[in-house]
Every structure is written in structure tokens, then in C-alpha cells.
Structure 1
Amino acid sequence: MPTTQDYEYLLECKNVIGVDYDEREDRVTVFVTQKEPADCLADEDDVEKRVADAGDDVAIDVVDAGYDEEREGFDALSMFETVPEAAPGREGRHRPVPAGVSESNTNLTAGTGGPYPARVTDPDAEDIVWRDDIESGDLVRLSNNHVYARSNAADPGAPILQPSPHDGGEADDAVGELVGYVPIEEGVRVDVAARSVERELESADYFELEASWPTGIRREEYEALQGETVTKTGRTTGVTSAEIEATSASVRVNFGEDHGPVLLREQLVTGPMSEGGDSGSPVFLEDGALVGLLFAGSAEQTICNRIALVESELGVEILTDEPDTGGDVDGSAEIPVRTTTLDHTLSVDLESPSLSLESIRFEDRIRPGESVEAVVTVGAEPGAYWLAIEDEQRTVTIPVDDGPESRGQAAVTIPVSVPDGLEDSLTVRVRGGPVGTLE
């Protein structure tokens, strides 16, 4: 079965800056900077002819990006020397800092501060730039590489200001330092960077969005999102919404003179909902699940990283709220550090009274629209462990029975909500791992 990458040869055509293949509809969507009649194009620039010559029998949609001129890529939305004025209330100084307001590198015009809190899980991963003192379990705030790291140009430790310099931010408005980023390079899948935080200065809120958001983190089944409505909160255009037009697009994005157009893969493309300065905006589904990180666009489209790739490529886990500090915010309290070492997905038959799969069983019959108690049993060395099914998380302790090197077992009960409308099976995801502490 073809994939989007099989159609990247179309990016060689004049005006083409993005391509997406939808397997469900066997359809290729081509994004162009301007539409031209076929009789005005050379054969090598005629998308339909190129596809036919390749022997592919697929539907083709050609979508105008609205530039009205030949361009080499979409715009990275905070790379401009000038940016539009911020939406009311977003250009000011916010303490604590929420996501969705003006925030950027001290040497940039303006951008948007994105998801917080995110917890570092893999500071030793290859091909990721992390400051030397960053450790697993550290909390950070996210935005784009081109917002915090100026497209690889900034060194770790560079100040991040809230508000951005264009909105009056000065040295005293520093809220953190650049601590990590995924380098911008050909074929990358994300435009993301992280800054340090002082927890008493940060808020897990998303400016002008519902207090319950994010209700979760969308980490899978992105192909099913075609046509879904998403909403972002950003510095320039505030809260705006659009429909998803592509879910696995390969796009070229212009990152300025030092990089020029760069190919990014597996991107979400929506209708227009952003302008310059909105880079870094968090993007949500209608149920409040965080789904994307906005970074580029045109007059007719907005481009977003899949949030699951933001996590995996940078080596972080985005949390739906701040970890418990025991009531302290001065950094003296112990912060739980949860490392994922168990990640298992299973299917269970509806109406089944119980399910035994080594360490998991259901206490009652599983019926659509109801909740059922799942008993999760783990075996491990003595210590504290976290276990989670979907968004429900619990902690379990395995006691010391026969010495610290022995293995024991412990069980914890976790409620599972069964969606309405299921017919054959329920799929749940069980995760877990040891709980350490970060002083």
C-alpha cells in the first residue's frame, strides 16, 4: 500500500509545497502556492501527468495555499522581521505563565509559549540537543525550535522572554532558558524545543480555553482525524478553529536564509487558523485532547506537528497537569519521576465476566456506556510503581518480603470507562513503571 513518501516526487513540480496520501480514500492531496492551467505547465510540473506516468491510479486533489506566486515552501510563522500585533491580553506579562501567550527567544520578534508541563524522559537520546545539566524527570515548557532556538542558531542557556521582544519583553521578563531542541534538518518530523521552568512562575492553563483542557494527549490513530475540527490558542490570532485537511503530509517549510525550505514529514494540515507569531500554539481536538503543535502555514493552511511525535522525537512526556509537590512550590518538595517500562494494549470481549492475562482481570461484565473495575497485578522488585489505564493512574507498592533483591506482587484497582456504541471488543492501554524522586 502506498504512503505519502511514495508521492514526495511531486514536490519537484513547480508551485508544489506539500503532498499527502489518504489510504482510506486512495487519494493524493497536493498543496500548491498558486494554481496554473495545465497548458501553462511543462510536463515535469504537471501533477496529474506525473502521477499517471508513474502508473498510479489514484484520485488527486490540488489545493491552493493562497500565495498567488511561486514559492519554495510554507512559512515558519515566527521567522518574520515583523509580525502582526498580538490578540488582546496576549501581549502582556503573565505570572504565572499560561500556554498560548506571547513568548520567544530574546533575539526573536515574537512567538507563542506552548504545552506545559512536559517531563523529560530521555535526555541522552541521539540527535537531540540537550543542555548538559538536564536530567530525566525535569519539567519543561515546549514551543517550536524556531521560536526558542531560532532554528538551531541559539545555544542552550539562551534566555526566553515572556512577553516576546516585539511585545515589550526585556531581560527582566526572562522566564527560562533554552535547554533542548530537535535540530531543524531535511526529513525531520517536528519543529520543537524546550525551555527551563521555575514551577512557581508557570501555569498548566491554556489561555482562554476550558480549564479542563487538555483532557488527554492524542498519541495514535491520526489517520482517523481527517475532517475533524481542531482549536488552537496562540499569541496573534487567539482562539481559532479549522478542519483537518491532511494527517500525514510531507511539506516544505521556509526557515529563512540559513536553512531555506526544509522537508518535514507526517504533518497535520488544517484550514487557516494562524498568522505570524502563532508558532508554538498548542492545538486541541473538540473533546479537549491535545493533538498538535502549530509551527507553519499560509493564508489557506496551518501546519502542525503531531503531538505524539513531539514527545517521541524530543524525548519528553506531556502531562495533563502538574505533578503533586505536596503543597510546596519552592522546589524543595520531592517530584515524582515516573519511567515507562510497561506499555501494553489488549482487547477484551464485551459481556465477558472476567479476563485473565497474566496481571489483568475485570471484576464485572463489560457493557457499553458503563464503568468496570480492572484489577492490575504486577510483579517486580520491592518499591513504588505507577500504573495507568488511559487517563486513570494509580500508585502501588511492592513490599520487601524476602530481601531487597526478591520479587513480589501487588495489585491495584483502576476504573475503566466503556464507551457507548461498542459492538465486539473494548481496547484499553495499560502503562506503568517505577516511581522515583527528583530532589
Structure 2
Amino acid sequence: MDRDEARKMKEQLAAFARELAEKHGVVATPRSVGAQTMAHAADVVRAPTLALGLVPQAEGGFGIAVRYRLGIPRARSIVRKVSAEIGPDADIRRTGRIRPVSELGPRPPAPTSQADGDTDRRRPLRPGISIGHVGVTAGTLGAFVTRASPVDRDGHLYALSNYHVLAGSPEARPGDIVLQPGPADGGLAPGDRIGELTQVVDLDTVEPSFTDAAIARLDRVPVDFEYPVGRVVKTARALGGEVVGKVGRTTAITRGRVTAIELDDVIVGYEDLGALNFDDQIEIESLDDGPFSRGGDSGALVYREDGVALGLLFAGSESGGRSGKGLTYANPIDQVLDILGVELAREPTHPFG
């Protein structure tokens, strides 16, 4: 199938899956079953219990990615029927419970080198180091950005990461302190302040979300713009099959492959907000011996080997996928930048405005 045909089939299958979910009595949205369930909302699986997207095929064109969570018997029944509708173009994978990567798995002790992650205090700031809202644990500084619109351009430099890294809760407000390293890594001293929360993309608890993102305006702090692949200033839409990398607070430099794009109905369990639905997401599987991401890697920039940015890492599972190492999910970077009204910083000569 070409992309348009695959997209049309995906839409039809999504409607079919919802009908099957209702017929089989799969769990409804947690908001409809009372406050007691909301307390455990991160463990609730919402109908249709499976995500659908596009997967590139070796001979060209696209198939349909079908992803469902392990341990949900009724989901398997729905997947079988959906897959029968797709036929040989179905790419079926099981996932573990998907959570924000800041909540994923135990955090290792502070590493001694960037090859093992980076939780230390770093000046100049650089991509891949520990960062966090004063009331959060720790995540990853993904990129440096500037205001894109001529009307809003203010000459200041901002740090880009996830909402759940730079804000962490609905109670967070612009002006809140952002630390490097994040609080979980000891960043509580006065000298650890690097800026303040400026803007967040609110996560919708009813309608599908597209990004988990926020920016913090930086103080006068020295900055190093280099990634392991050099400067990253260009962006592109993921097409599937790309070999990608990231540098993160916990697992440092890792390599993976984009295994699905345009995934809809990706259910991510947040501790405070419950089970949220994300559309148009990128899926990545590790090419290394270990996982592509783990707890603390939230907010890392995902880039191709040629240094073109594709996504903002935000969620993952500890199990599932063909390797069993889990899967990582990223927001398309162009969508993140567009919603926030920013662009990747291109001019390192005036980082403080």
C-alpha cells in the first residue's frame, strides 16, 4: 500500500477496533468509573486497547502496525480480528505497560562518565544531561531552542524537554525554578538553578494529546550545542526504518531503529494524570544490547545518524517488542516545535539574548 492507502485503512481499522472493544466490554475510560478508579488510572487500559500506525515494508510502501499490551486477554481477541482484516500487511507486536520514561524502571547510581549517562552538574550545559523542575525527580535536557515567530522572538535561549520533566504536575507555573542536575541527582543547591519554566503544552485528559513538551528560559549559563553527531539544527518527519540515536541522562548514547510511525491510541500511564491517549507517535526499538531508553531519559532529542532531528523522547515500556527489551515512543519533533512556537537554536554566539 502507498501511504495514503495505509492511512485510510488505519482509520477504518480504528473504528472497527472500537466497535469490537465496546462489544467485548473492554475497560472504558477511567474518568467514567469514579474517583476510586482515578487513583489507579495509570494501571487502567482504555478501549480500544491497541495502537495502530504505519510500518515501512522492505519492498516499498507501508503496512499497518498493530500494538497491544501484554496481559490483556480481550485485547488479544480484538487484535486477531483486526489482523485478519489487514492480512499479510499486518505488523503485530506486544508491548509492556507504557509510561513516561522518567517513571520507567529504577534509576542507576550516578555514573562516572557520559558513556554511562550523565547525572552530574555540568557547565557548560549540553544536550543529554540531567535536568528537572524543582519539584520533579530528573529527566534529560533535549535541545536548546529559540522563539520562532518574528513577533515573539526575544533573543533568549530556552531548554527543551518534556512537560513531565520541566513542569511535572498541573500545579507547576511559569517562573518555577528549573535545576541542573535535576533534584533526584542532587540539584538543590542555589548554584544549580539554570532557568525558569516558561511554557508547557498541557496534557489533555479527555481528547488525544500529541506532545509531552515544555521549555524553560535559561539564565546566563554557558552552553555547549554539540551532540554526539555534531550540531543538530535540521528536522524531518520520520518515514520509518531510520537508524536513530539519542543522548540521555541515564543510558547516554544509544542507537535504535524507527519501527512504526503515525501511531494512534498510544496509552501512556501517568502517576498524577492517569491513562492518557497520544496520537501520531513514533516507535523506536533498540539496536544495542540494552534498551534504547530508561528512566531519566525523558526529554532526549531523537536524531538520525546524519544529525537531523526526528522526535522528542517521552515514553516507553520495559518489555515487549521483538527483542523483549521494550519500546520507546517519541513525539514528532516538527509538531513539538510548532506547538511551542520555537525552533532549534542555530546561533551559538549569543546564547543569552
TM-score normalised by structure 2 residue count: 0.75
What residue in structure 2 maps to residue 21 of structure 1? 54
Secondary structure, counterpart of 1:47 in structure 2:
helix
- Quick one: which of 173, 176, 192 aligns to 2:195? 176
Task: Provide the rounded CA distance (Å) in 1 between the counterparts of 2:196 and 2:150.
Answer: 16
Shift of 1:32: 2.3
Task: Provide the rounded CA distance (Å) in 2 between the counterparts of 1:233 and 1:289.
Answer: 14
The answer on 1:30 being equivalent to 2:66 is yes
What residue in structure 1 maps to residue 42 of structure 2? none
- Quick one: which of 248, 252, 256 aligns to 1:238? 252
- Quick one: which of 227, 231, 238 aligns to 1:213? 231
Task: Provide the rounded CA distance (Å) in 2 between the counterparts of 1:184 and 1:288.
Answer: 29
The answer on 1:312 being equivalent to 2:329 is no
Q: Which amino acid aligns with 1:252?
A: I
Distance change (3 Å), C-alpha of 1:263 and 1:42: closer
**Structure 1 contact 112–280 (Cα < 8 Å) conserved:** yes
**Structure 1 contact 87–237 (Cα < 8 Å) conserved:** no
Task: Provide the rounded CA distance (Å) in 2 between the counterparts of 1:43 and 1:261.
Answer: 17
The answer on 1:111 being equivalent to 2:144 is no
Residues 52-83 of structure 1 show CA distances to partners (whole Å, capped at 9, x for unaligned) of 5xx65562222122x3xxx4xx1101146963
TM-score normalised by structure 1 residue count: 0.61
- Quick one: which of 141, 147, 154 aligns to 1:120? 147
What residue in structure 2 maps to residue 405 of structure 1? none
Task: Provide the rounded CA distance (Å) in 2 between the counterparts of 1:31 and 1:182.
Answer: 26
Secondary structure, counterpart of 1:84 in structure 2:
coil
Task: Provide the rounded CA distance (Å) in 1 between the counterparts of 2:126 and 2:157.
Answer: 15
**Structure 1 contact 20–28 (Cα < 8 Å) conserved:** yes
Gaps of 5+ in 1: 125-133, 336-439
Shift of 1:2: 4.6
| Higher strand residue share | 1
Distance change (3 Å), C-alpha of 1:42 and 1:195: closer
- Quick one: which of 259, 264, 270 aligns to 1:255? 270
Distance change (3 Å), C-alpha of 1:278 and 1:43: closer
Secondary structure, counterpart of 1:310 in structure 2:
helix
- Quick one: which of 62, 66, 91 aligns to 1:61? 91
**Structure 2 contact 110–120 (Cα < 8 Å) conserved:** no
Secondary structure, counterpart of 1:277 in structure 2:
coil
What residue in structure 1 maps to residue 123 of structure 2? 95
**Structure 1 contact 152–184 (Cα < 8 Å) conserved:** no
Higher relative contact order (CA 8 A, sep 6+): 2
- Quick one: which of 201, 210, 218 aligns to 1:189? 210
**Structure 1 contact 281–293 (Cα < 8 Å) conserved:** yes
Task: Provide the rounded CA distance (Å) in 2 between the counterparts of 1:308 and 1:204.
Answer: 19
Distance change (3 Å), C-alpha of 1:80 and 1:109: farther
Distance change (3 Å), C-alpha of 1:182 and 1:7: farther
**Structure 2 contact 70–94 (Cα < 8 Å) conserved:** yes
**Structure 1 contact 217–291 (Cα < 8 Å) conserved:** no
What residue in structure 1 maps to residue 78 of structure 2? 46
Residues 352-391 of structure 1 show CA distances to partners (whole Å, capped at 9, x for unaligned) of xxxxxxxxxxxxxxxxxxxxxxxxxxxxxxxxxxxxxxxx
Secondary structure, counterpart of 1:97 in structure 2:
coil
| Higher helix residue share | 2
Shift of 1:153: 3.3
Count of equivalent residues? 297
**Structure 2 contact 136–167 (Cα < 8 Å) conserved:** no
Residues 79-129 of structure 1 show CA distances to partners (whole Å, capped at 9, x for unaligned) of 46963334434111111111101111111111111101x1113599xxxxx
Structure 1 segment 2-401 matched on structure 2, within 5 A: 2-3=6-7, 4-9=10-15, 10=17, 12=21, 16-22=49-55, 25-34=61-70, 41-42=73-74, 45-50=77-82, 52=84, 59-65=89-95, 67=96, 71=97, 74-79=98-103, 83-89=107-113, 90-116=118-144, 118-122=145-149, 136-172=154-190, 173-185=192-204, 186-206=207-227, 209-210=228-229, 212-214=230-232, 216-220=233-237, 222-223=238-239, 226-250=240-264, 251-256=266-271, 258-272=272-286, 273-299=292-318, 300-322=326-348, 324-325=349-350
Q: Which amino acid aligns with 2:93?
A: V
Shift of 1:42: 4.7
What residue in structure 2 maps to residue 385 of structure 1? none
Shift of 1:22: 3.8
Gaps of 5+ in 2: 28-44, 287-291, 319-325
Secondary structure, counterpart of 2:137 in structure 1:
coil
Distance change (3 Å), C-alpha of 1:188 and 1:58: farther
Task: Provide the rounded CA distance (Å) in 2 between the counterparts of 1:17 and 1:282.
Answer: 26
